[in-house]
A and B are shown apart, each in its own frame.
Chain A
Amino acid sequence: MNDSRSFNWQGWSVFGALLLLWECASRFNPDLQLYLPPVSQILGTLARLIVSGQIVTHLAITFTRFLEGYFLAAVIAVILGAVLGYFRFAHSLFETVIEFLRPMPSVAIIPVAVLLLGIGDSMIVAVTVYASLWPVLINTIDGVRHTERTLIDTGRTFGLSRRRLLWQVVLPAASPYIVTGLRVSLSIALILVTTGEMVAGSRGLGFFILDQERSMNSGNMYAGIILVAGLGYLLNRLFLLCEERAMKWRHGMIAREAV
C-alpha cells in the first residue's frame, strides 16, 4: 500500500499521544475512571486475566466456534456455488430464492436459531455458517460463470471428464473470486460469533465482554475487547499469508500478462 516501507514514526506518535491523553484524562478524573480506566490499568488487567486463565477459556471457545462456522460455511458455499455456477438449470431455480433471502440482515436469523437449536454451541455455529455462506456463495457462482469458454472447451477437447474439468479447470479459474468471498466472510464470521454470544450465550468472549459491562467491570470489558481485536487482526494476517502462498501461481500469471 505504501511505497516507503520505513517505520511510520508520525503515526505511532499520534497513536501514543492518544493513549497518553486517555491515561492522563482517566487518572486525573475519578468520575471518568468508572467508564474509562487508565490504559496501563487495562493492560495490567488483561495480563492478569490471561495468566489466571479466566479469559483464555473464553477465547478458546470463541475461536473454536469461529473455526467450525467459518470452515463449514466455506466448504458448503464452494460446493453449492460450483454446482449453481456450472449448471444453468440449477442456477435458474435458486436465483430467486437467493435474491429473496440475501437482503435480510443475517443477524435476524439468531432468534430462529435459538428457537430451533436452543442456546449453545450449535446455535452460534449455525448462525455463523448462515451469515458467512453468502459472500463465498455469490463469489463462487460468479467466478464459475465467468470462467472463459475457451478454457472449458480446451479441457473438453482433451477429453477431461466432468469431474476433472471441475477440479482442474473451473475451480482454479474461479479461485480469485472464491478467495475474495472468503476474505469478506472472515470478518463476518467473527462478527456473528461475538453477536451470537452476546445475544444468547453463556460463554465466549462476546458473552464475557457484555457480562463485564453489565457488572460494571469496565477494565475487564476493555481487556476482552483488546483480545477480540487481536484475534481479528491475527486471523486477517493469517489469511493474507495463506492467500499469498496459495495464489502465487496467479501473481506470476498476471505479471506475465502485463509484460
Chain B
Amino acid sequence: MRESRFNGVLFLIGLLLVWELVAQAELINPLIVPPLSRILRIFAELFWSGHIPLQILASMKRALLGYFLAAAVFIPLGISMGLSQTVYRLFEVVVEMLRPVPPPVMIPVALLFFGLEDEMKIFVIFFSCAWPILLNALDGARNVDRVLLNTARTFGLPQRKIIWNVILPASSPQIMTGLKVSLPIMLILVVISEMVGSTDGIGYFILDSQRRFRIAQMYAGMFALAILGYTLNQVFSLLYKLVMPWHVALMRLRDGS
C-alpha cells in the first residue's frame, strides 16, 4: 500500500512537470495552457489578497444555507414517510413527479422568482439536495430492525421517545449517507447557479475569468474549488466520526470478523 502511494504521487508530479515544460516551451497555445508555476503564483496572490477566500465565503454561505434547509425539511419528511404508509402514499406521486427534473433546469424558475439574489441559489440547492436526503431518510426509517421497535413498544415507551431514542439512532447511518451524497451535489449546483446568474461567488469568478481571458486566474479558481471540495469531504468524515463513533466502531468490528 505504501509503495502504491509513492508511485501515484511520483506519477502526478511527473504529469505536472510535463505540463510545466510543455507550457514553458509553448508547444500549446500559452494563452490556453499557461505554465503551472504561473497558475500557482496567481493562486497564492489571489489567496493572500483575500480575493479567492471572499468568493468562496460568498458561495459557501448560499450552499450551506440551502443544504441545511433541505436537511431540516426532508429528514423529518423522509422519516415520517418511512414510518407511516399513509404519509408515504400521500407524498409519493408528488415526489415521483418532481424527482426527474434535472436540478439545473430549476435555475431559470428561481431566476424568475428571486432574480440574481442569494435566495435564487439557496432555492436551487434546496431543491437538488432534497431527493438524496429524502430517499435515504425514508429507507433508513423503513428498514429499522423490527425487533428494536417491538422491544421499545413492549417496554411501553411513548411514540415520541421511540422516534427519538430508537428510530432516529437506528436510521442515522442511512441519513448520513443521504447527507454525504448531497454534499458534492450542493457544490455542483452552487457553481452552476453562480455561472448562470450571479455577480460573485467562486462559480462566477471562474467563468468571468475565462470571459476576460485571464486564463491563469481561471485555473487558480478551479484549483481553489478542488481544494474546497476536498476539504468539505474531509470535514464531513470528521463530523461523521464525532457524531456517530458507535457506528464507526461497529463497522470496524464487522469488517474485522
Contact = CB atoms under 8 A, between A and B. Distances in A.
A206 B184 contact: no
Interface bin, chain B: 35 or more
Nearest to A104: B226
A92 B4 contact: yes
Interface stretch (B46-54, B88-96, B245-253): B88-96
Main secondary structure of the interface of B (DSSP, over half): helix
Nearest to A93: B11
A18 B90 CA distance: 12
A36 to B, nearest CB: 8
A108 interface: yes
B222 A213 contact: no
Contacts of A232: 100-102
Interface in A158-184: none
A132 interface: no
A58 to B, nearest CB: 13
A224 B3 CA distance: 53
A110 B195 contact: yes
A8 interface: yes
Given A92-B4, A105-B184, A199 B196 contact: yes
B105 interface: yes
A97 B15 contact: yes
Main secondary structure of the interface of A (DSSP, over half): helix
A218 to B, nearest CB: 6
Contact of B93 (A11, A187, A191, A195): A11
Interface stretch (A23-31, A112-120, A249-257): A112-120
A235 B104 CA distance: 17
Nearest to B227: A103
B229 to A, nearest CB: 3
B94 A15 contact: yes
B225 A105 contact: yes
10 contacts: A15-B97, A35-B112, A105-B184, A106-B188, A107-B188, A108-B221, A115-B210, A115-B218, A229-B97, A233-B100
